[in-house]
Chains A and B, each alone.
Chain A
């Protein structure tokens, strides 16, 4: 595995060991390389299929449902219609300029794949294209990683890196079959762009730089994380300049990439003029300018003596720095350059979001990483990774600087935000592969042990020991990856696996049950109010209009829904009537013990709406007298009166004959805790009570308030409870 490589044919001339080979050996090598790549590709795809095998071919989680819906829109409409898509079925009544606020790369790619397959006689369902999208592209990522690592060290390290990349859980977590998210294609494009960048800065080839720019453009069209490339490449150049390694190759590579890449990226509607206006992109522009100055300086240096040059350089550098920073501040101040976004601030200050933008903090993937997650996601690569970086330091070629910068930056980012673990994973694979291949270069080379036809035993044993240890680690790594992929990352989260009392596995399918009921048994233009987490799923599965969804572009609108959930029902009814909502959907995990339900998310709703209406909503009121978050008898009155509480627990204690045990919170709810619901009527509850749907009642026909009507009803039904209503009363009609 170590000594073979795709380009050994080209290298054979240079490598003395491999010279003078017969064509048969070359042929065997080609076949072997091809087989290895096929195996890596197969491993990459098949380890991502656990979700399909254990569950089904289904789109996962939340965001992928939007991407899937957008893709369906794309394949049923023209591309221009897609770009101009105004979606009136989300963010009701505002709507969303979806075509202009999404990254179309993912959808256009799968649309193209779908059309291509159809053309060659494979009319695959678009859903299956979307489900299998991420696994297929992860195979390409492995290939790109191979080429990238080959540029860093050699083809042996490349193969190792490709193999790591294919099965490492940190990448699989975002690219299992069905996880149809932007990251599915973005990591592939990230690696391809970096691969071309390394080639471009090594050779100064305009072709490679152009390819870098083109893939950068593709990346921009696919994922908001393209800013990472936008900053990493200039940083690489900047550090190289500081190291005094400027040369014409860097100049041609960077300027070509920057000019083409920036112009191209501005063609994406969602990006538009950001590359020249936003702070995130200023570093690239700055380095572009700096590079011109450095090039000019180099030119001057050849003309004047070095003593004079030093003075010129120091003065001009200081001047440029001052002018540049001042200009940046001034432009930002006057609003020509957009200031940093909230998500960016939270990268530097992990508490920023919690204080200023609760909606960012409320997303679990924006939380800092727990340390075990690093081991869980990368296994033994995590401790090979620093070793690899260290080895690169020893060598420190231009391209090694890139990997070092990449690993330092990403280690920090991944520590801050769990989703950025994804961008760290490739460099972990690369660095670990470099370290491991260096070890194997030394310890798997048995040519010295057989010197003079005498076996050097201690040498042999040490070599065998070290190499077998690492091979053992490799085997362990494969087992770990398979286990993690199977157990942790393959759940669609739409369907929940569970075991019955007799040991059979059953799937809890309450989400789809309720969504499908909505889809078929409500009016086509019904508006569903729910917390934003379920917006994309309702749009995708229930095909109904939602008030808020996972796009979270309008904090006020979300806060309004949060306020409706957190207010007493009279008030909620008023808010929801104003929003023209027809149904309210809540997720209740009490019966199942599903901890991700709305009662647990409820405090975020309170916090977000408190941010807008601090005098109406107060987080403190939702805690019990002792300052705890309770849902049983000791819950505060505000808590018991709020819509979310009433809807979640309506009828729940009665299910247990009066003592409802909430399995998530481990508390007992009594019928007296759950106040009657007068303004809303239960219309559907799923089999395991996970999804509960309520309809807004119509105004009372006799002009009473709905509460009065409810009170009257209760007073009459109490006395009539024993009356038999079984048969229709026929005689009255004569």
Chain B
């Protein structure tokens, strides 16, 4: 009986879910007067700027606009910001959980844009949306020779996708020297115009994608994808330093070699001194005044790295061709004063701000774990991050001479980051008073003293049988 009722309940919930998820239809209160979609494919990730002019066609004033996003884009979104065109101010935006299933089976998710003041009927409003997402072109052909140029194939919607009717829609691609439409659809072609490909269409129905669009373009640089990044930041009040240690799992998701790697061909190719689709050097921008740099991997030190100013140039053990992986750890030390300041609020209260990323440019990150290690005994008050994290944890981690609870570890997990969000900061406010600061060396001293006394007493035990 219980099982049966559970079964019914499941079925009910399931149907409810599909109703909630798939049947969402934004109220048709807007009309896109003009929708310009600019797609920048220069990087391994895709940057889209949408320039929208919309009109309220409802009878009432409205303030919520739903932006339709293909689910694949939505799932890999790393930056999403909305700006009013004339006022240069960011406006509130967010996402809703509901999606819509289109006739062709694809799913559409929504961003929601909240205007600061309701828009009156028949009134126009112009705004820009900037977004980046961690999906872009895929290598085409998938296997190329070492000396070949790498091309990517980007599949996307031909018309700018919208939940509302669009009077005039434009899709434009730029960011490469060489664009080509793949399988052009007769009558709907995009035309080549500097700096890339452009297509304009009138009167597009809501959710109309147009004929499938595939754009082929040259992209002869490595496609750096950090599958996993573990970024550890150690704060030491005693030493006055902040130490960074990053563990990267790097993959070049570009085109694979069509046969085995030939060092001979590679050496001959290198003499041409031109950019290629393999990753030979990683350039990272470090915070100012960094010192004690190192570069290691799981089999030891990698000696091929250089420091120039605030940049570190890491040369991996081998050139990373398409489909190849490389793991490494790099680290450096900075003076703490550049990152920490005493909070005005209370005694022994500090605010630390740490950049989210310092990795190489033109890189996407699938998973990022950022851990901030505060001194033993510190109390975390607030944690703030420029980029929303998936989850935040405060735990303890034992390290050298941590005889009590260990360092306080603040962990934040992120998904789908790109190098451009790296300048965003993690802010943590915590208290750390003098007593806890002095407790540690005192503890260590007591332990050493106890050990020495123990040794002394053991030595004075007489084991001689004859006495």
Contacts and interface: CB of A to CB of B under 8 A. Distances in A.
Interface of B: 140-141, 145, 148-149, 151, 180, 182-183, 216, 259-264, 267, 297-304, 317-318, 323-327, 398-403, 444, 447, 463, 465
Contacts of A58: 300-301
A56 B444 CA distance: 29
Given A123-B400, A512-B299, A517 B267 contact: no
Summarize B's interface: helix, strand, loop or mixed. loop
B300 A521 contact: no
Interface stretch (A292-300, A452-460, A629-637, A684-692): A684-692
A535 to B, nearest CB: 16
B301 A684 contact: no
A694 B263 CA distance: 12
Contact of A516 (B216, B260, B317, B447): B317
B263 A515 contact: no
Interface in A497-522: 506-507, 509, 512-513, 515-517, 519-521
Contacts of A507: 303
Contacts of A682: 260-263
Of A507, A509, A541, A686, chain B has the most CB atoms within 10 Å of the CB of: A509
Contact of A512 (B264, B300, B399): B300
A695 B261 CA distance: 11
Contacts of A494: 300
Contacts of A689: 263
Given A683-B261, A695-B260, A56 B267 contact: no
Contacts of A80: none
A655 B264 contact: yes
A123 B261 contact: no
A573 to B, nearest CB: 16
A728 B151 contact: yes
A686 B140 CA distance: 28
B303 A509 contact: yes
A725 interface: yes
B154 to A, nearest CB: 15
Interface residues of A, number: 42
A512 B317 CA distance: 8
Given A512-B299, A683-B261, 18 more contacts: A58-B300, A121-B402, A121-B403, A122-B400, A123-B398, A123-B399, A494-B300, A515-B299, A519-B299, A651-B264, A655-B264, A683-B260, A725-B145, A725-B148, A726-B148, A726-B149, A730-B216, A733-B183
A120 interface: yes
A328 to B, nearest CB: 39
Contacts of B267: 655
Contacts of A513: 317-318
B298 A519 contact: yes
Nearest to B216: A730
B149 A685 contact: no
Interface in A55-104: 55-58
A445 interface: no
B341 to A, nearest CB: 30
A24 interface: no
A678 to B, nearest CB: 13
Contacts of A681: 259-260
Counting from the closest, the 9 A-B pairs by CB-CB distance are: A685-B263, A683-B260, A56-B301, A651-B264, A513-B317, A520-B325, A681-B260, A541-B299, A58-B300
A7 B401 CA distance: 35
Question: Which of A655, A681, A683, A685 has the most C-beta atoms of chain B within 10 angstroms of its own C-beta?
Answer: A685
B297 A684 contact: no
Nearest to B249: A520
Interface string A206-223: 010000000000000000
A637 B259 CA distance: 29
A659 to B, nearest CB: 14
Interface in A475-506: 494, 506
21 contacts: A55-B301, A121-B402, A121-B403, A506-B303, A513-B317, A516-B318, A516-B326, A517-B317, A520-B325, A541-B299, A655-B264, A682-B262, A684-B260, A684-B261, A685-B261, A685-B262, A685-B264, A686-B263, A687-B263, A730-B182, A730-B216
A10 interface: no
Given A520-B325, A520-B327, A686-B263, A122 B301 contact: no
Nearest to A122: B400
A681 B183 CA distance: 36
A734 interface: yes
B71 to A, nearest CB: 28
B326 A520 contact: yes
B400 A121 contact: yes
A730 B218 CA distance: 13
B262 A651 contact: yes
B401 A121 contact: yes
